[in-house]
Chain A
Amino acid sequence: MSVVETVARLPLLPHERAWLERIFEAMLPAETAGLPTFDASRHADLCRTLEEATGATFLPGLRVMLHALAVLPLGYAGYRRTFFALPVDGRRAFLAELAREPGYLPRQLVAALKILACFAYFESPFVRANFDLRPVTRAPMGRP
């Protein structure tokens, strides 16, 4: 691996992993809809997968997104604190506000973190058990 790639692939720091977890909970507060919550025991595994299986530009991009989201609310009336210093309602409201932004970058930031949150949420078999995933038929057509 080249030096550039080694640097690009430096694992997430503990606080970055914790941030990610808090973003996921704000992005998809499942308990508010009577659904099971994120399975926190899978979080480390998720982060490892993101660190190992993604392209070499992914982690630097994720880092930029995490740090940008951390400070963005400072510039918004009604928030004026870092994202992670906001109360849980404030974090949810801020993400919703960012998602409505006409600008490309804020929208993309929310969209990218939303996909990660969805991946993380549906890793749990307990969560998946809430959906009827049976194939539409159990009688296969014969092979030619």
Chain B
Amino acid sequence: MSALVHLDGREVRATLRMSAEVVVVGSGPAGAAVARRLARDGVRVVVLEEGHHVEPQDFESTGLRAMASLYRDMGTSIAFGNSPMPYLQGRAVGGTSVVNGAICWNFPKPVHDAWAQADRALGEALPFEAITRAETELEARLGVHPTEEHVAGQKNLLMARGADALGVEHRPIRRNTAGCLGSGRCLQGCPHGAKLSMDLTLLPDAVRDGAQLVSGVTVTHVLSDARGAYGVRGRSAAGAQVEVRATRAVVLAASAIQTPVLLRQSGISQGPVGDGLMAHPGVSVTGRFDTVVRNFVGATQGHEVTGFRPEGLKLEALGFDLSILTSRLPGVGLELARRVAELDQYAVYGAAIRAEGTGKVRPGPLGPLVRYDLTEEDVRKARRGVRRLGEVLLAAGATEVYPGIPGFDSVVRDPRRMAAIDDEGSLDPKAYTMSMTHLFGTARMGSDRAHCVVGPDFQHHHVDRLYVADSSVFPSNLGVNPQLPIMALAHLCAERILA
């Protein structure tokens, strides 16, 4: 057993009963930030995590094995809707931070303004200055800094070159890393311990201050009665029942998909729980260069184009394992084999879309049922995203770009053809291959008890002592990578519990 983990559910074969002041479900950015802040003030905390603890040197190197060990359902969870797409989530001690791209953005002020305008009580309970204060402390702990040029690798440097040529704003991505070698393996878990994910930072802080982390336990029910929530029940990976009683608070930080499922499974279905799912769906485009790029190494996501944010788009360099990179090449059969022989000449860039589409999450017989629909405006943004990605790739020196939109040119070599996507690209949502990694809004926060699940103090409107700390509470998406804002709000949730 590691020093971080108090008990490993794979070894818990008999009924386990524990007690604490606060029990936290989930050990991702939200759960880790809550546990750390509470433990610092001497609160007795137990964190329950479904996934397991993997030490950096034990992270798998291939795409398949990394996804099998660190991703929920190996990344095969699908949101159905007008453009069915996978939604990816980590399942490990440290949650999705273990497999994410380490990109850190601050909570955008305009988003806070919009929340406060829609709900004054929320704006007052959650002042922007408090969020900034929490972010500043977290950024220092997580070593957030811009990607250094010497670890960037070609894919990131080329993106900078392309954006420069187009005269559009861009910058090295600020990441939570220290000692990065530019191995390009962030999405498989950093084997060098250089990505400062939760398992290496906030969780050890919490444990040092007395928190107990139990891995390999799936929480299935929140226990509550007329007086409020008093614990959780679940089962260990070895099949035993686990029950943790909490005298002060039950905190759900299981993610914007699992938290509403857990609430509904527990019969706590007041308010729009599970409704209002929002996301940043992503599209990607592949380009071929005549020179060596080695997309599979260099800082996994080390550069971003921010100049298209007014269009609802943020462009990022993407780094993948060889397997996933190959799946993004055009063609099958002989064509695919020929391209694999020159695999080091391809780059893939992605655009995260600030979408207006919404969806629903419900418990189902085979796991969460997720529905998500893009609006027509979202599809236009996806189409524009493909255009912008292609333009940046061409400006960076790509000789060929593959938009991947059925009915449009399969290969584009000329920026004018890229621009023609705006007129000729399909508006069928299914024409775009997308995935979701940023999820929000399924237990939204606000003062209106009829339309919100938790209050501005993160506490459930109908069940005392039950708190939600993850991005389920966000009333909208952010338009930027959310891990740092999620940690900041979770930190503030802990302070509300302490108050």
Residues of A bordering B, CB below 8 Å: 2, 4-5, 8, 26-35, 46, 49-50, 52-58, 92-93, 95-96, 99, 102, 104, 107, 110-111, 114-115, 118-123, 128, 131-144
Contacts and interface: CB of A to CB of B under 8 A. Distances in A.
B343 interface: yes
A57 B79 CA distance: 12
Interface stretch (B11-19, B240-248, B275-283, B331-339): B331-339
Given A4-B366, A96-B332, A135 B181 contact: yes
Contacts of A92: 332-334
B74 A122 contact: no
B178 A141 contact: yes
A28 B181 contact: no
29 contacts: A2-B365, A4-B365, A27-B336, A28-B336, A28-B340, A33-B340, A49-B68, A55-B72, A57-B367, A58-B76, A92-B332, A107-B406, A111-B327, A114-B336, A118-B63, A120-B64, A122-B62, A122-B321, A122-B323, A131-B322, A131-B343, A132-B344, A135-B181, A136-B150, A136-B297, A139-B150, A140-B194, A141-B180, A143-B143
A119 B294 contact: no
Interface string B342-368: 011000000000000000000001110
A-B CB proximity, top 6 nearest: A55-B73, A92-B333, A136-B182, A53-B68, A140-B179, A135-B181
A46 B74 CA distance: 12
B65 interface: yes
Interface of B: 61-65, 67-69, 72-74, 76-78, 143, 148, 150-153, 178-184, 192, 194, 294, 296-298, 321-324, 326-327, 331-338, 340-341, 343-344, 365-367, 406-407, 430, 433
A92 to B, nearest CB: 4
A134 B151 CA distance: 12
A32 B78 CA distance: 34
B407 to A, nearest CB: 6
Contacts of B296: 131, 133
Contact of B406 (A95, A102, A132): A102
A90 to B, nearest CB: 11
A142 B183 CA distance: 16
B332 A99 contact: yes
B74 A54 contact: yes
- Pick the most buried of B179, B294, B334: most chain A CB atoms within 10 A of its CB: B334
B142 to A, nearest CB: 10
Given A28-B332, A29-B334, A53-B73, 10 more contacts: A8-B366, A26-B333, A54-B74, A55-B72, A95-B332, A96-B333, A122-B62, A123-B64, A134-B297, A137-B151
A144 B324 contact: no
Nearest to B182: A136
A115 B327 contact: yes
Given A32-B334, A123-B62, A136 B152 contact: yes
A102 B407 contact: yes
B338 to A, nearest CB: 5
Nearest to B325: A118
B86 to A, nearest CB: 10
Contacts of B407: 102
A142 B332 CA distance: 44
A57 B366 contact: yes
Given A49-B68, A96-B333, A128 B63 contact: no
- Pick the most buried of B65, B76, B183: most chain A CB atoms within 10 A of its CB: B76
Contact of B341 (A34, A55, A123, A137): A34
A117 B61 CA distance: 17
Contacts of B298: 136
A131 B214 CA distance: 39
B65 A55 contact: no
Contacts of B62: 119, 122-123, 128
Contacts of A136: 150-153, 181-183, 294, 297-298
A115 to B, nearest CB: 4
Contacts of B338: 32-33
A46 B180 contact: no
A134 B62 CA distance: 14
A50 to B, nearest CB: 8
Contacts of A107: 406
A73 B62 CA distance: 33
A31 to B, nearest CB: 8
A96 B182 contact: no
A57 B184 CA distance: 31
A35 B76 contact: no
Nearest to B429: A104
A137 B181 contact: yes
- Pick the most buried of B152, B179, B296, B337: most chain A CB atoms within 10 A of its CB: B337
